[in-house]
């Protein structure tokens, strides 16, 4: 068994957060009536309060302030070199002792990025994150890219304070004798990829300090994108047949029947769908019914549910086989209900179909592939912290709508889990940061 060295609690200083005003901190203190509240704000705003020696009442008050974003924890007695920022409402104000005898390594869930002149180190597993403006900490992290012993230092040395803070934020993690981090053996950790866990933690409330929701952060600075995309392929427009929605409502199967019989169908007949069937499917699922001007930009109405009524999606149709329509890559004009030819068959188009087939376990090459694209800034203009998550939820609503309509029409429909966004951008000429594919759905005539 590894013997843990007894390293005494290092000095760490609680200071008023630069993002919090004294008024904010005062409000958070006024909620608690204790004898310690008289000079707390003054101490925090000047030299800070050393964490060592705080009694339980003061710790309780400081924790409440930390959870409200009013205070931060600075390594040792330094100011601004290494700052720990709480990000969870169950945050505990503590720095645990760490072993000097085992090796340590940067966690595979740790990541760094730049913000406002500082390096930010985060882990989606932790209840806090770090602001770094000190090369010593960067040196520690570089050394810990592989299992390494902590730097030789005294228990009350700044370097030890920094190591304990890195461990507290789960940026570095202890390793076992074999050299593997202990987290490598935890099943609950092994089954997460970094990008998935990071996305989950930052797009939900609970582990983030960033603003969330409809903040309209760019209003007055950047114009919102119009509801209807400027169509560069309008010259090749071909109107699609429009179904009789009123008549269909009388003869369609029930919603319950559609839900209960819905299936992902990955086998197609040698006889493809007709252009009339494709037109009916697109009309019933993704056409634009009308555009609504508002003080916050244009909203739309379409058959499927969509976050904020923004309907940031565009739809592209790759036709490999369809009666009355040549093979090619098309843009669906949902306002006028028609297809616009972007290009005939190309190498990228063939590969797009091959990738769709691979996503369907090679069971079928889709006769028709619908690519769902997102005009990212339609929704990013309004929402912060949740914009991309909302777009993926919108794709889920589209999938369900497409499945139910395909079931009602007796069409083989199947949502796909993987697509190639770079290939899409090459085929459309769109900027990767402006519009990209976020979902795919294939259609065909069932056997």
**Could you tell me if residue 190 is inside a domain?**
yes
Number of domains in the chain: 2
Do residues 426 and 365 touch, judged by C-beta distance below 8 A?
A: no
- Of 174, 208, 242, which residue constitutes the final position of a domain? 208
CA distance 132 to 135: 8
In this structure, the answer to whether residues 74 and 107 fall within a common structural domain is: yes
- Asked if pLDDT for residue 63 goes beyond 50, the answer is yes
CA distance 265 to 255: 19
In this structure, the answer to whether residues 144 and 273 fall within a common structural domain is: no
**What pLDDT is stored for residue 37 in this prediction?**
65
- Of 178, 208, 238, which residue constitutes the final position of a domain? 208
In this structure, the answer to whether residues 231 and 134 fall within a common structural domain is: no
- Of 158, 175, 208, which residue constitutes the final position of a domain? 208
In this structure, the answer to whether residues 218 and 331 fall within a common structural domain is: yes
Domain that holds residue 66: 12-208
259-293 tens-digit pLDDT: 999 999 999 999 999 999 999 999 999 999 999 99
In this structure, the answer to whether residues 40 and 169 fall within a common structural domain is: yes
**Could you tell me if residue 319 is inside a domain?**
yes
Average model confidence (pLDDT) across the chain: 91
Confidence of residue 428 (pLDDT cuts 50, 70, 90): very high
In this structure, the answer to whether residues 246 and 379 fall within a common structural domain is: yes
In this structure, the answer to whether residues 162 and 278 fall within a common structural domain is: no
Least confident of 28-37, 252-261, 380-389: 28-37
Alpha helix segments (H runs only) across 239-346: 245-251, 255-261, 275-286
In this structure, the answer to whether residues 286 and 305 fall within a common structural domain is: yes
In this structure, the answer to whether residues 157 and 263 fall within a common structural domain is: no
In this structure, the answer to whether residues 161 and 248 fall within a common structural domain is: no
Identify the H or E element spanning 331.
strand 328-333
Domain CATH code at residue 295: 3.40.109.10
**Could you tell me if residue 3 is inside a domain?**
no
Q: What are 203's two structure tokens?
A: 């797009």
134-173 tens-digit pLDDT: 999 999 999 999 999 988 777 778 888 899 999 999 999 9
In this structure, the answer to whether residues 72 and 200 fall within a common structural domain is: yes
Do residues 348 and 427 touch, judged by C-beta distance below 8 A?
A: yes
Rg of the chain, C-alpha, whole Å: 28
**Could you tell me if residue 7 is inside a domain?**
no
Tell me the angle at which helices 22-30 and 56-67 cross, rounded to the nearest 10 degrees: 120
């Amino acid at each position: 068994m590894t013997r843990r060295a007894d390293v005494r609690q290092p000095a760490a200083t609680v200071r008023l957060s630069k993002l919090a005003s004294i008024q904010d901190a005062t409000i958070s203190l006024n909620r608690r009536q204790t004898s310690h509240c008289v000079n707390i704000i003054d101490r925090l705003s000047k030299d800070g309060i050393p964490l060592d020696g705080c009694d339980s009442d003061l710790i309780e008050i400081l924790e409440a302030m930390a959870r409200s974003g009013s205070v931060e924890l600075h390594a040792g007695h330094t100011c601004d070199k290494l700052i720990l920022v709480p990000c969870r409402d169950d945050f505990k104000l503590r720095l645990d002792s760490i072993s000097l005898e085992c090796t340590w390594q940067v966690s595979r869930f740790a990541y760094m990025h730049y913000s406002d002149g500082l390096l930010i180190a985060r882990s989606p597993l932790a209840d806090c994150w770090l602001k770094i403006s000190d090369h010593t900490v960067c040196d520690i992290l570089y050394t810990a890219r592989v299992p390494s012993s902590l730097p030789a230092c005294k228990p009350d040395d700044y370097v030890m304070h920094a190591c304990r803070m890195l461990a507290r934020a789960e940026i570095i993690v202890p390793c076992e004798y074999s050299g593997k981090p202990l987290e490598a053996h935890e099943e609950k950790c092994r089954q997460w990829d970094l990008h998935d866990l990071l996305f989950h933690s930052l797009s939900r409330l609970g582990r983030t300090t960033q603003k969330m929701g409809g903040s309209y952060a760019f209003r007055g600075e950047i114009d919102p994108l119009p509801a209807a995309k400027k169509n560069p392929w309008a010259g090749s427009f071909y109107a699609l047949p429009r179904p009789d929605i009123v008549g269909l409502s009388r003869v369609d199967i029930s919603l319950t029947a559609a839900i209960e019989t819905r299936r992902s169908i990955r086998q197609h007949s040698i006889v493809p769908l007709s252009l009339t069937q494709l037109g009916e499917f697109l009309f019933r699922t993704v056409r634009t019914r009308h555009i609504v001007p508002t003080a916050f930009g244009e909203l739309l109405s379409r058959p499927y549910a969509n976050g904020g009524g923004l309907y940031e999606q565009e739809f592209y149709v790759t036709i490999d086989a369809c009666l009355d329509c040549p093979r090619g890559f098309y843009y669906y004009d949902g306002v006028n209900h028609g297809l616009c030819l972007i290009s005939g068959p190309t190498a990228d188009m063939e590969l797009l179909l091959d990738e769709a087939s691979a996503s369907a376990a090679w069971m079928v090459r889709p006769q028709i592939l619908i690519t769902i694209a997102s005009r990212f800034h339609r929704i990013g203009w309004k929402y912060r912290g949740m914009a991309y998550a909302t777009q993926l939820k919108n794709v889920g609503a589209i999938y369900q709508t497409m499945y139910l309509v395909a079931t009602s029409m007796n069409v083989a429909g199947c949502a796909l889990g993987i697509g190639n966004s770079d290939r899409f951008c090459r085929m459309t000429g769109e900027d990767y940061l402006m519009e990209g594919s976020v979902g795919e759905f294939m259609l065909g005539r069932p056997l």
